[in-house]
Amino acid sequence: MIVITGATGTIGSEIVRQLIERGVKVRAVTRDPDRARFPGGVEVVRGDYADTASMAAAMTGAEAAFLVGLLGPDYVELDRALVAAARDAGVRRVVKLSAIGTGDAALGRVGTWHLPGEQAVRDSGVAWTILRPSSFASNTFSWIDPVRAGGPVPNLTGSGAQGVIDPRDVAAVAVAALLSPDHDGRVYTLTGPRALTAHEQAAALSEALGRPIEVIDVPLETAREHMLAAGMSAEFADGAMAGQAYVREGGNARVTGDVEAVLGRPPRGYAEWARDHAAAFTG
């Protein structure tokens, strides 16, 4: 039995799908089992990181767990508690979803947000693997509305490139690490095959859709104001903008061979992701 937290999310939902395809027993954790949709055969349980008893119950009887912490300065204790819940329930292997740049001083505070959770995993006494993916290809789902409306898509990262990764590849690496001891004690930095700017991603999406997509560069101060207006804390907005500035300056223009080393094949590129998800942009 493998427990998947964040099971309704981008990476967790794909892990659930891939594990079920392999005939593995899966327990999916969500705060709202009535709303969540999973493939047949998945055991669905209610779990909230803030509710210790629910997470203890969710972890009981599992051999391995996929841990999706919540990103931000307010969630450090919940991240630690999530690891403790797995350890205390006797889970033997955990795979933690972290992020590229974690621990890099140049990234500022956002680069520290996953550190306590990573440290808790290392200190847990449980076999562990840490995944530090680059920017998800699926982040461009945020472009759906402007693309459908024929308007320009917003770009916060200037001409900074990133090793954009397909979430299906992050999930495939997680599945490998959940099912085999070969990845115990490893930290994988997961990227796509090449570093792409947002303009290059828009060009690839444009090619997949067969129509032009314009890009509009958004000043970070404007983006920060939008985040504050949406109710996010100044600390979170500042951290997030420091992350965007890091990308603009070329700090995240990294490509690694970790996906290929684990999966034995190259990672999928953004153009493939765009072709496979084109329908979402056309409505």
Ligand X SMILES: NC(=O)c1ccc[n+]([C@@H]2O[C@H](COP(=O)([O-])OP(=O)(O)OC[C@H]3O[C@@H](n4cnc5c(N)ncnc54)[C@H](OP(=O)(O)O)[C@@H]3O)[C@@H](O)[C@H]2O)c1
CB of 27 to ligand X, least distance (A): 13
Strand 186-190 relative to strand 127-133: parallel, antiparallel, unpaired?
Answer: parallel
If phi > 0 it is left, if psi is from -120 to 50 it is alpha, else beta; for residue 51 that is beta
Q: For residue 14, what are the CA distances in angstroms to 20, 21, 60, 234?
A: 10, 11, 22, 32
CB of 210 to ligand X, least distance (A): 26
Residue nearest to ligand X (CB): 9
In the set 2, 3, 4, 8, which binds ligand X (CB under 6 A)? 8
- Nearer to ligand X by C-beta: 54 or 150? 54
Residues 78-107 that bind ligand X (CB under 6 A): 97, 99
In angstroms, rounded to a whole number, what is the distance separating the alpha carbons of residues 227 and 10?
21
Segment 21 to 40, residues that bind ligand X, using CB under 6 A: 30-32, 36
Six-digit token string for 267: 């990672």
- Binding mask 112-151 toward ligand X (x if CB under 6 A, else -) reads ---------------------x-xx--x------------
Binding of residue 47 to ligand X (CB under 6 A)? yes
Applying CB under 6 A, among 42, 58, 64, 68 the residue interacting with ligand X is 68
Q: How far apart are CA 68 and CA 135, in angstroms?
A: 16
Strand order in the sheet with 186-190: 43-46, 26-30, 2-4, 64-68, 93-97, 127-133, 186-190
Report, in Å, the least distance between residue 161 CB and ligand X: 14
For ligand X, the binding residues (CB under 6 A) are 6-12, 30-32, 36, 47-50, 68-71, 97, 99, 133, 135-136, 139
